[in-house]
């Protein structure tokens, strides 16, 4: 008798299986050590009193908490070589004028070679915009929009990292709204935060880094220079129509870019896993179109976020050390995409909220391994540098979740007390960063000092979209400022 052989599924099959499981069955995450974390509002039943329905009827009462969550993500195609299918995709859509968005580095790489071949083979008309700025500013976004508007494309194709994909999203948005002011859709309070109330043109995203997960989300981030802070636009209608995730396109990432991009995945996963539960968010929207993309932790996002966390811990160090480790490179691209689905619906919180002024107020730091003209704090570096301080602070909000995350890092939590959860997770993150190598050990190594803390705090306060999801953060302004001061102080060194 021949013994049964258990085949180990490859990354693409595991991703497909995970997606199908979630579509077909109620989510049941084995990592929910705290069964009450997602015990939402009571089950809806018809009211015995006419006119007193409490849940399905929209309300304008400002104190009522959310009672529902939505899941939205781009369609994803994953596999080595799938970039070659993009010409057929655009032909299937009936596209006649395609705006290809990239940057000057990626324009010379294998990914753009594949794209040009695929589009030409299918007879697709296209023009390439290759002046995307890495870590884009409002000025570079406006330049890209000004280029796209007269071309009037009927579809967009973004080929690059998060900066490229986010720029393409905003080119698509403001081409569809030619009379809009630039701040109309920018997140409040820095902008007006208006909802996107009509569908945009098709956008296909081809990521060349394993980090932002922007190919799955309705979020686009940039520096608002006048406020010395990062902000952006967030709405479901902004998300790409299709994300083409091809591991062949990430092979050329330098080690420093792999590390920074991977740290963004790590924090996406940790922050969405530990964000406040969706049913604790206020206010409840008066109309579904007003329900934010970032909703708080929920049972479906949890599955994606925790899977991505474990994969990142396992594969990021390998991918940085060995460029020929194709399994690790592929798994990190998959982890980035899965984390994008998780945080794209649950949201992130303090690491990202604090990272925006860290990047925007860069005192002159230039990260090793990035071939750019001026100073740069890569996004993944700016989020990870505060992570030990952040999770030490949030640990008390849900010790079981923080201990589950620490266990994913390899910590034996069998004898750890609940009150030590934040400290244990912070230590695990600190050790992981040290072993990954070439990471700043706190804000001081980025050039910041105690004299910069007030400016960093003031640059964080406007990040309401993410701060509202931070467990333990006060809603009283002066108390919130005091908490942020202490977090930045703790983040000076670790």
Domain boundary among 212, 235, 250: 250
- Binned at pLDDT 50, 70 and 90, residue 42 comes out as very low
Same structural domain, 485 and 471: yes
Domain boundary among 250, 272, 288: 250
Q: What is the pLDDT of residues 7-21, one digit of tens each?
A: 444 554 555 555 444
Q: What is the pLDDT of residues 401-437, one digit of tens each?
A: 999 999 999 999 999 999 999 999 999 999 999 999 9
The pLDDT value recorded for residue 34 is: 46
H or E, element range at 233 = strand 229-234
The pLDDT value recorded for residue 63 is: 74
Domain boundary among 250, 272, 287: 250
The pLDDT value recorded for residue 290 is: 86
Average pLDDT score over residue span 454-481: 95
The pLDDT value recorded for residue 25 is: 41
The pLDDT value recorded for residue 17 is: 55
The angle formed by the CA atoms of residues 413, 418 and 419, to the nearest 5 degrees, is 125
pLDDT of 47 over the 70 cut? no
The pLDDT value recorded for residue 31 is: 35
Same structural domain, 194 and 262: no
pLDDT of 349 over the 60 cut? yes
The pLDDT value recorded for residue 370 is: 87
- Binned at pLDDT 50, 70 and 90, residue 51 comes out as very low
The pLDDT value recorded for residue 57 is: 44
Same structural domain, 205 and 267: no
Indicate the angle between helix axes 326-346 and 299-321, nearest 10 degrees.
150
Looking at residue 159, which CATH number applies to its domain? Answer: 3.40.50.1970
Q: Is 155 within a domain?
A: yes
The pLDDT value recorded for residue 397 is: 96
Query: What's 157's DSSP letter?
Result: E
Total domains in the chain come to 2
Same structural domain, 281 and 229: no
SS3 295: coil
How many percent of the chain have pLDDT more than 70? Answer: 87
Average pLDDT over the chain, rounded to whole?
A: 89
Distance CA 335, CA 345 (A): 16
The pLDDT value recorded for residue 121 is: 98
Q: What is the pLDDT of residues 134-187, one digit of tens each?
A: 889 999 999 999 999 999 999 999 999 999 999 999 999 999 999 999 999 999
Same structural domain, 264 and 175: no
The pLDDT value recorded for residue 60 is: 54
- Binned at pLDDT 50, 70 and 90, residue 369 comes out as confident
pTM: 0.87
Same structural domain, 195 and 283: no
Nearest to 346 by CA among 69, 74, 75: 69
Same structural domain, 219 and 268: no
Q: Is 148 within a domain?
A: yes
Q: What is the pLDDT of residues 54-85, one digit of tens each?
A: 444 455 556 799 999 999 999 999 999 999 99
The pLDDT value recorded for residue 50 is: 40
- Binned at pLDDT 50, 70 and 90, residue 46 comes out as very low
The pLDDT value recorded for residue 15 is: 52
Same structural domain, 127 and 224: yes
Same structural domain, 282 and 396: yes
The pLDDT value recorded for residue 113 is: 97
The pLDDT value recorded for residue 229 is: 78
Query: What's 473's DSSP letter?
Result: -
- Binned at pLDDT 50, 70 and 90, residue 289 comes out as confident
Same structural domain, 329 and 364: yes
pLDDT of 375 over the 60 cut? yes
Range of the domain at 367: 255-491
Lowest mean pLDDT among 83-92, 251-260, 298-307: 251-260
pLDDT of 458 over the 90 cut? yes
Distance CA 213, CA 333 (A): 9
pLDDT of 3 over the 70 cut? no
Residue found by looking up tokens 């915009």 in the block: 129
Maximum separation of any 2 CA atoms in the chain, in Å: 74
- Binned at pLDDT 50, 70 and 90, residue 295 comes out as very high
DSSP 78-115: ESTTGGGGHHHHHHHTT-SSEEEE--TTGGGSHHHHHH
Same structural domain, 241 and 266: no
CB 326 within 8 A of CB 463: no
Nearest to 298 by CA among 32, 477, 116: 32
- Binned at pLDDT 50, 70 and 90, residue 230 comes out as confident
- Binned at pLDDT 50, 70 and 90, residue 442 comes out as very high
Looking at residue 389, which CATH number applies to its domain? Answer: 1.20.1090.10
Same structural domain, 297 and 426: yes
Q: What is the pLDDT of residues 93-140, one digit of tens each?
A: 999 999 999 999 999 999 999 999 999 999 999 999 999 998 899 999
């Amino acid at each position: 008798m021949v013994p049964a052989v258990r085949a180990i599924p490859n990354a693409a099959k595991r991703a497909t299986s995970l997606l199908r499981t979630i579509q077909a069955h109620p989510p049941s995450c084995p990592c929910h050590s705290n069964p009450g974390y997602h015990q939402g509002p009571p089950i809806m039943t018809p009211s015995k009193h006419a006119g007193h329905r409490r849940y399905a009827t929209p309300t304008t009462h400002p104190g009522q908490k959310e009672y529902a969550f939505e899941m939205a993500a781009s369609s994803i195609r994953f596999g080595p070589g799938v970039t070659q299918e993009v010409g057929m995709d655009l032909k299937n859509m009936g596209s006649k004028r395609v705006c290809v968005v990239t940057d000057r580095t990626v324009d010379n790489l294998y990914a753009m070679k594949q794209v040009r071949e695929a589009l030409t083979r299918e007879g697709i008309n296209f023009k390439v915009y290759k002046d995307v700025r890495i870590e884009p500013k409002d000025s570079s976004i406006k330049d890209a929009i000004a280029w796209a508007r007269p071309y009037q494309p009927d579809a967009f194709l973004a080929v690059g990292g998060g900066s490229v994909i986010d720029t393409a999203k905003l080119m698509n948005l403001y081409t569809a709204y030619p009379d809009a002011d630039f701040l109309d859709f920018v997140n409040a309070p820095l902008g007006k935060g208006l909802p996107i109330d009509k569908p945009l043109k098709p956008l296909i995203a081809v990521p060349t880094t394993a980090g932002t997960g922007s190919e799955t989300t309705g979020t686009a981030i940039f520096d608002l220079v006048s406020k010395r802070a990062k902000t952006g636009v967030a709405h479901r209608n902004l998300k790409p129509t299709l994300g083409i995730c091809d591991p062949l396109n990430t092979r050329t990432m330098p080690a420093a870019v792999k590390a920074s991009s991977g740290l963004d995945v790590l924090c996406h996963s940790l922050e969405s896993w530990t964000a406040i539960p969706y049913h604790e968010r206020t206010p409840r929207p008066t109309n579904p179109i007003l329900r934010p993309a970032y909703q708080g932790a929920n049972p479906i996002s949890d599955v994606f976020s925790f899977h991505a966390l474990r994969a990142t811990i396992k594969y990021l160090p390998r991918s940085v050390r060995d460029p020929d480790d194709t399994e690790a490179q592929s798994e990190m691209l998959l982890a980035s995409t899965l984390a994008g689905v998780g945080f794209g619906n649950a949201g992130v919180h303090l690491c990202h909220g604090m990272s925006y002024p860290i990047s925007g107020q860069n005192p002159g730091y230039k990260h090793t391994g990035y071939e750019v003209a001026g100073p740069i704090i890569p996004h993944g570096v700016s989020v990870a540098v505060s992570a030990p301080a952040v999770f030490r602070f949030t640990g008390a909000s849900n010790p079981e979740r923080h201990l589950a995350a620490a266990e994913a890092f390899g910590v034996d939590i069998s004898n750890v007390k609940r009150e030590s959860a934040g400290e244990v997770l912070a230590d695990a993150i600190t050790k992981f960063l040290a072993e990954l190598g070439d990471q700043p050990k706190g804000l001081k190594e980025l050039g910041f000092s105690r004299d910069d803390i007030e400016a960093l705090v003031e640059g964080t306060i406007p990040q309401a979209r993410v701060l509202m999801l931070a467990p333990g953060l006060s809603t009283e302004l002066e108390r919130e400022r005091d908490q942020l001061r202490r977090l930045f102080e703790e983040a000076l060194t670790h």
